[in-house]
Structure 1
Amino acid sequence: MTTTQRVGGLATVTHDEDVRRAFARDVSGLEMMADMVARPSSVAEVQDLLRAATADGVSVTPAGAQSSTTGASIADHGVLLSLRGLSHIGAVDPDARVIRAGAGAIVADVRRAAEAAGLLFTPDPTSEEESTIGGAIACNASGARSLRYGATGPHVRALTVLLANGEQLELRRPALEKNTVGYPIAHDPVDWFVGSEGTLGVVVEAELALYPLPSQVLGLAVPFMSEADALAFVVAARRAPDVHPRCLEFFDQGAMEIARTAEGAGAWAPGISAMVYVEETGGGDGDEELPLDAWLALAEAHHASAEDIRVYDSASALNDARRMRHAVPATMNERGAARRAFGGRKVSTDWAVPYPRLGEALTIARRFAEEAGTPRGIAYGHAGNGHPHQNIIAQDADELARIEQVVYATLKEVIAMGGTVAAEHGIGKIKRRWLPLQASDAQQRVMRALKRELDPLGLLAPGNVL
């Protein structure tokens, strides 16, 4: 009997090279081809696969829509387990304000199902139309609205998880407000799997919390002649008592050029250096007046280009604003993909610092790039959380190596500021080497101990995280 006879004999598993090649890439720019691809359509079929893989000693890497920027959803050996077939979305429970969804359900489809019931699913990764619930849980994804609502994890009420040997766990967050029994790490096992990037178990279904849908949403695109003014505006908006942003998204000059193209407005706000996109929401009765005047006054106080401010106050206009935001990473992904044949790709950072220090951190990152003679790239994203995304296009393998050295130097400074190397994308394979910058030896030993307990043979998602 060959070592993969049990796995390879399953109807859900294929060795076909064309299929394996179709699952060999994610958004990271890496390419890895697994030995097999599994495409189950039920939890029972996932269990069968895991039991067979354990018996054969074959590794299994779970994947959703493969929108990972860190290589977490591809594998160079074993089985690539596609969970796209588990795409079911249950009915909304309006009283409990929850919805159940399979790991393969698209995030935006869950949001639309909630909205149809007058409720809001708050996590909103930029890739929501191309990312799955399982993937969002795996890397604890967030998005623009995380400024108000937080990342995915707090909105996961319950999980159905399969361990490496196929054992099924039904986990639910405790309703307790107090608990002092044992170590805090054991209080809520749901948190073992949120952000674990497929290394501890396979999430196959989740129960997700929903919230009242705001009756009013106001979006503002606020351009600035100075990047320093834009970032000072962000800090002031976090602290001002009369505005309550649910997002504060930053675009530097390069990102703004892409946004202009997406808007079809090449002449909009000429000569500006940065922009901040803001959203504010109103309450449930529809009578609450949104603080537009307060926002305009705050913008004026920070030297915004007042005549170029754009207001988005309808559903269609807000969708336009979202497309504008999404155009930035989508465009940079295309530019990075065009350099793969030359050994280059897009390098995407995910670091974050305490939000008042964002300008300082960006200045350091750009200085390191200038000293190394590498492109500075563009910066955009969640300034309200101190969390930008730098996207840098490496033209070839040599430039890629030099850019990664610049990123490493930047991350050391980020950690010294009390920041993190990865705020929402996880670390997958690409950023695993940076884990020791942030996690102490003791923290890494605890993580490895949990991995050994839940996946003693080390078969799940090898190369991710640890």
Structure 2
Amino acid sequence: MATGLERALTAALRGEVRFGTAERAVYGHDASNYRHVPRGVVKPADLDDVRAAVALCREFGVPVVPRGSGTSIGGQAIGPGAVVLDFRRRLGRVLSVDPDARTARVEPGTVLDDLQRAARPYGLRFGPDPSTHSRCTLGGMIGNNACGSHSVAWGRTSDNVHALDVLLADGTEFTAGGPLDAAARAALRELPGREGALHRALQDLAGAHLAVLRQAMPALPRRGSGYPLDALLPERGYDLARALTGTLGSCAVLLGATVRLVPDPPARALVVAGHPDEGPAADAVPALLPLGPLTVEGMSADLVAALLAAGRRPAALDRLPEGACWLFLEVGGDTPAAAGEAARALAEAVRQAGRATAVVVTDPAEQRALWRIRETGAGIVTRLPGGGEAWPGWEDSAVPVEHLGDYLRALRGLLARHRLRGVPYGHFGEGCVHLRLDFPLTDPARLPAFRAFLEEAADLCVSYGGSLSGEHGDGQARAELLPQMYPPEVLELFRRFKGVWDPDGLLNPGVLVDPRPLDADLRFPGRDLPVTLPLAEDGGSLLKAVHRCVGVAACVDTSSGVMCPSYMATGEERHSTRGRARLLAEMLRGELVTDGWRSEEVREALDLCLGCKGCASDCPVHVDMATYKAEFLHRHYRWRPRPASHLALGWLPLWLRGAALAPRLAGRLLRSGPGGAALKRLGGIDPRRSLPALPEQTFTAWFRRWRAAHPVQPGAQPVLLWPDSMAELLDPEPARAAVEVLEHLGFEVRLPSGPVCCGLTLLSTGQLGLARRVMRRSLRAVPAGLPVVGLEPSCTAALREELPRLLGREAGELPSRVRTFAEFLDDSGVALPRLETDAVTQVHCHQHAVLGTAADRSVERRMGVRNAVLDSGCCGLAGNFGMERGHWEVSVAAAERVLLPAVRAAAPDTVVLADGLSCRTQIAQLADGRRAVHLAELVRRALREAQ
């Protein structure tokens, strides 16, 4: 039943008002250890919506929490019983860029990368650049006083804010700027009403405590703890914009900002210095800072080990010099030559400092690859080398840079005494260290040990003149520890400062003043339910699997990549990988989502998951939502009627085998208007989808005729071709092409002794028992010893990954023998025919996630194909997904993002390559008549033209 506040908001706002269980579940989490279920969520359409929402929350006495991308590590983007204002959806424009003044006007939900793109044509950029730059918002950066890797050169967000347009909880609006001279400060005191009263109160607060503010606020470039009250000092010009930056949305709601821009060096070069460990690396930093690097970032061997444990080894690691800790030092120049010269001079200074090696990287692609290793650290280090989970808590302490080496050594000693493990890395140029630790947060009995460590770590940091937070803000994670950093009189000033702005405590309460305990409200409790899939990487625990998600929000980056196609189409948090993980966690917790496997909220969120597996590879911690979805559907529909599409499309190989007995009759039925419409209606298929044409004969029947006409050549090496159900019964042309190519190249193609199927259509619809039976039957038809070539990427990936998951040891060595067509050609070293042609490639998402595409690119290069690989992600059809009723809009939107415009724009003689049947089908149905071909068909064409 709608509450009075919900009804009032719905009536007053143009934007979205969401008070349902699913929305409250996904917005109850950010990137911290904490969980606070909100009263509801508002997604304002414009600033009038923001004003109305704040006014109504004030009327009803409900707190307000402003939120950007929800990547806050301290817990400040969530609030118990609050209304969350999500600025990310519609208030995200770059309003203007003034290249002469070097400023930009932005809305609070503007994503940093969008601002950088707008400033780039003028040779400008916004200086701060946190690792979440592809999704973090300017409002969130201002709230946290974000920094990033270039703060050595360009400062923190507070150094780059010119003016803030703010809304107070009582409805007052004004622009906060600074710094100001004495006359301007005096003029503000004379303003009428609430604004004048606020300026008088703040100036009097600072004037009455000048000595305290000058002496008790550490002069650190990375002081992120507490309110920045020293910005109010007369010698700082009563810089109100700076005083508000870093207040975590607890003083005012941001309506807009004018930010400063800095010149962006036209060229850059990177020096990577190798040191024995992080202590000597940190010791070397003070001597390097006078040389003017743009960045001085530290990364230890622990992070590299965590990266290797998480997945494939990046080639960029080969560029790291000898050492166990590396400093990344970037320099700029007007030309590549100038940047390279500056880098070589810096590298020589590194070597002369002793006990360090250095390499200079000038190639922009190599630099980006190295930076990606560093940027993914926040996600990678949540899984430690050798196993174990690591969590934030002591995430971003900062000390004076001259004390950083000693602090790191002492911190290592403290970790050893508490028997904790973690991976330190961070902004060594400003003394800021990121560190996630294997705290025992999932064991309530051990929480006192968590608290004891944090209290000792805070004392250690303060003993070196440091700040508990260096860039992420205090929030619930650290606010309780502020008495160990500040004397009581400063804490009282924080309380009074908050009271001047927000006397009723409605704006994000508890994130700094009157904090909640640091060991309360943890997000980890929950019950583990029995599962069918092994979830071996998480010890068979779905609870542990969904808590892989730490909220860094790579899945809500809509600029590129595979993840997450449904979020890119809908923009809804619950349709992101992160949102679905949070809903599953709430299902296992059982407090908000109470009906377990029967949950309709979870079912609805997972319904629009395409099962593309992009998250399994692109998520920094490899949340595998396709697997979790299969498990959920298996349990949700156990002993219950399934949707018609699960029977029609999940059992599609069975229906196609029946149709193959009378293909002409079945084809006429599919092509007839009434018959096709009836089949779509009965099968849960969207009426706008075209049903496929059936081949006149199966691939196996064709192969028997081929073998009769093409006897095996003496000495030919045998290879087993996997005739997946779609190649066998629906689209045999790629398989025919593969046979022709492989036998021309000197191989003997053999087929299994009977029908085979990978079971993926059953797996993706959660029919795990049937999928296991189909896999076992297929195994019996496959002879031992031969290499197996798969043509359909999703089937090939299933044989490598899903087969051993479902069958365990029964799978034997088959997964290790499976190769893609391109891998087999590339590994065999055979001479390939040349084909000088242009091509564009749509990579199947399962191939991207599981198999990789290096062999495909190698084959194309060897053939002379000029190929452009589309950064399109999932085609949107995704097996059964795009065929099902209710998925048309998301399916088409995913295709229209990159794939379809690129295919339509390609020249008529450009080859469209797509190994996946889903991808070829989507292109055929939606790309204005263009036809895509499999790589095997392209190689066959090259052979025929050569002959």
TM above 0.5, yes or no, is yes
Equivalent of residue 467 in structure 2, options 403, 411, 420: 420
Output the CA distance in 2 between the equivalents of 1:178 and 1:118: 36
1:199 correspondence with 2:247? no
Give how far 1:427 is off. Answer: 0.3
Q: Which residue of 1 is the match for residue 498 of structure 2?
A: 451
1:72 correspondence with 2:76? yes
Give how far 1:424 is off. Answer: 0.7
Once the two structures are superposed, what CA deviation does each residue of 1:389-412 show, in whole Å capped at 9, x if it has no partner?
112133533555424422321221
Give how far 1:286 is off. Answer: 7.8
Matched ranges for 1:75-86 at <5 A: 75-84=79-88, 85-86=90-91
Q: Is the 8 A contact 1:3 1:57 kept in 2?
A: no
Output the CA distance in 2 between the equivalents of 1:178 and 1:294: 48
Q: Which residue of 2 is the match for residue 362 of structure 1?
A: 408
Question: Does the residue aligned with 2:174 lie in a helix, a strand or coil?
Answer: strand
Q: Is the 8 A contact 1:86 1:204 kept in 2?
A: no
Question: Does the residue aligned with 1:347 lie in a helix, a strand or coil?
Answer: coil
Output the CA distance in 2 between the equivalents of 1:315 and 1:48: 47
Q: Which residue of 1 is the match for residue 193 of structure 2?
A: none
Question: Does the residue aligned with 2:94 lie in a helix, a strand or coil?
Answer: coil
Give how far 1:268 is off. Answer: 6.0
Q: Which residue of 1 is the match for residue 303 of structure 2?
A: 255
Equivalent of residue 97 in structure 2, options 81, 89, 92: 92
Question: Does the residue aligned with 1:116 lie in a helix, a strand or coil?
Answer: helix
> Cα RMSD (Å) of the superposition?
2.8
- Code of the residue aligned with 2:273 in structure 1: it is V
Q: Which residue of 2 is the match for residue 6 of structure 1?
A: 8
Question: Does the residue aligned with 1:223 lie in a helix, a strand or coil?
Answer: strand
Matched ranges for 1:84-163 at <5 A: 84=88, 85-163=90-168
Matched ranges for 1:235-274 at <5 A: 235-239=286-290, 243-258=291-306, 263-264=314-315, 272-274=323-325
Q: Is the 8 A contact 2:316 2:366 kept in 1?
A: no
Output the CA distance in 2 between the equivalents of 1:292 and 1:58: 54
- Code of the residue aligned with 2:8 in structure 1: it is R
Q: Name whichever of 258-267 and 76-85 sits farther off.
A: 258-267
1:19 to 1:228, Cα distance in 2 relative to 1, 3 A: closer
1:400 to 1:282, Cα distance in 2 relative to 1, 3 A: farther
Q: Which residue of 1 is the match for residue 418 of structure 2?
A: 372
Give how far 1:178 is off. Answer: 9.6
Output the CA distance in 1 between the equivalents of 2:433 and 2:509: 29
Once the two structures are superposed, what CA deviation does each residue of 1:303-324 show, in whole Å capped at 9, x if it has no partner?
4563xx4433244333223211
Q: Name whichever of 249-258 and 95-104 sits farther off.
A: 249-258
Percentage of pairs with the same residue:
25
Give how far 1:192 is off. Answer: 3.2
Output the CA distance in 2 between the equivalents of 1:213 and 1:265: 25
Q: TM-score, normalised by structure 1?
A: 0.89
Q: Is the 8 A contact 1:229 1:302 kept in 2?
A: no
Once the two structures are superposed, what CA deviation does each residue of 1:161-197 show, in whole Å capped at 9, x if it has no partner?
1111222112232465998866445822213321110
Give how far 1:266 is off. Answer: 5.8
Matched ranges for 1:276-295 at <5 A: 276-283=327-334, 290-295=341-346
Give how far 1:78 is off. Answer: 2.1
Give how far 1:66 is off. Answer: 0.4
Q: Is the 8 A contact 1:13 1:39 kept in 2?
A: yes
Equivalent of residue 388 in structure 1, options 420, 427, 433: 433
Gap runs ≥5 in structure 1:
none
Give how far 1:73 is off. Answer: 0.1
1:311 correspondence with 2:356? no
Output the CA distance in 2 between the equivalents of 1:311 and 1:293: 7
Give how far 1:339 is off. Answer: 8.1
Higher relative contact order (CA 8 A, sep 6+): 1
Once the two structures are superposed, what CA deviation does each residue of 1:176-227 show, in whole Å capped at 9, x if it has no partner?
5998866445822213321110110011211111122212211122222344
Q: Which residue of 1 is the match for residue 702 of structure 2?
A: none
Q: Which residue of 2 is the match for residue 300 of structure 1?
A: 351
Q: Is the 8 A contact 1:232 1:302 kept in 2?
A: no
1:227 to 1:49, Cα distance in 2 relative to 1, 3 A: closer
Q: Is the 8 A contact 2:330 2:343 kept in 1?
A: no
Give how far 1:283 is off. Answer: 4.6
Output the CA distance in 2 between the equivalents of 1:70 and 1:422: 9
Q: Is the 8 A contact 2:24 2:38 kept in 1?
A: yes
1:179 to 1:409, Cα distance in 2 relative to 1, 3 A: farther
Q: Is the 8 A contact 1:160 1:169 kept in 2?
A: yes
- Code of the residue aligned with 1:203 in structure 2: it is L
Q: Which residue of 2 is the match for residue 26 of structure 1?
A: 30
Output the CA distance in 1 between the equivalents of 2:161 and 2:33: 30
Q: Which residue of 1 is the match for residue 57 of structure 2?
A: 53
Q: Is the 8 A contact 2:280 2:405 kept in 1?
A: no
- Code of the residue aligned with 2:303 in structure 1: it is A
Equivalent of residue 488 in structure 2, options 412, 432, 441: 441
Q: Which residue of 1 is the match for residue 281 of structure 2?
A: 230
1:335 to 1:163, Cα distance in 2 relative to 1, 3 A: farther
- Code of the residue aligned with 1:439 in structure 2: it is Y
Matched ranges for 1:313-332 at <5 A: 313-332=362-381
1:265 to 1:451, Cα distance in 2 relative to 1, 3 A: closer
Output the CA distance in 1 between the equivalents of 2:82 and 2:261: 37
Output the CA distance in 2 between the equivalents of 1:101 and 1:335: 39
Give how far 1:267 is off. Answer: 5.9
Q: Is the 8 A contact 1:374 1:403 kept in 2?
A: no
Give how far 1:278 is off. Answer: 0.5
Output the CA distance in 2 between the equivalents of 1:177 and 1:320: 50
Q: Is the 8 A contact 1:387 1:423 kept in 2?
A: yes
Once the two structures are superposed, what CA deviation does each residue of 1:87-117 show, in whole Å capped at 9, x if it has no partner?
0112311111111111111112212211132
Question: Does the residue aligned with 1:442 lie in a helix, a strand or coil?
Answer: helix
Output the CA distance in 1 between the equivalents of 2:99 and 2:353: 43
Q: Name whichever of 67-76 and 110-119 sits farther off.
A: 110-119
Give how far 1:331 is off. Answer: 1.0
Q: Which has the higher helix share?
A: 2
Q: Is the 8 A contact 2:344 2:360 kept in 1?
A: no
Output the CA distance in 2 between the equivalents of 1:401 and 1:39: 39
Question: Does the residue aligned with 1:291 lie in a helix, a strand or coil?
Answer: helix
Which is greater in Rg? 2
Q: Which has the higher strand share?
A: 1
Q: TM-score, normalised by structure 2?
A: 0.45
- Code of the residue aligned with 1:423 in structure 2: it is G
Q: Is the 8 A contact 1:339 1:394 kept in 2?
A: no
Output the CA distance in 2 between the equivalents of 1:459 and 1:314: 51
Output the CA distance in 2 between the equivalents of 1:57 and 1:314: 56
- Code of the residue aligned with 1:371 in structure 2: it is R
Once the two structures are superposed, what CA deviation does each residue of 1:59-107 show, in whole Å capped at 9, x if it has no partner?
1111110010000001121211111121011231111111111111111
Q: Name whichever of 57-66 and 186-195 sits farther off.
A: 186-195
1:47 to 1:63, Cα distance in 2 relative to 1, 3 A: same
Question: Does the residue aligned with 1:124 lie in a helix, a strand or coil?
Answer: coil
1:262 to 1:76, Cα distance in 2 relative to 1, 3 A: farther
Count of aligned residue pairs for this structure pair: 456
Q: Is the 8 A contact 1:365 1:406 kept in 2?
A: no
Give how far 1:140 is off. Answer: 0.6
- Code of the residue aligned with 1:253 in structure 2: it is A
Q: Is the 8 A contact 1:147 1:385 kept in 2?
A: yes
1:112 to 1:311, Cα distance in 2 relative to 1, 3 A: farther
Output the CA distance in 2 between the equivalents of 1:289 and 1:268: 16
Once the two structures are superposed, what CA deviation does each residue of 1:369-416 show, in whole Å capped at 9, x if it has no partner?
2112222x0100111111111121335335554244223212212112
1:351 correspondence with 2:400? no
Q: Is the 8 A contact 1:374 1:402 kept in 2?
A: no
Q: Name whichever of 133-142 and 21-30 sits farther off.
A: 21-30
1:30 to 1:267, Cα distance in 2 relative to 1, 3 A: same
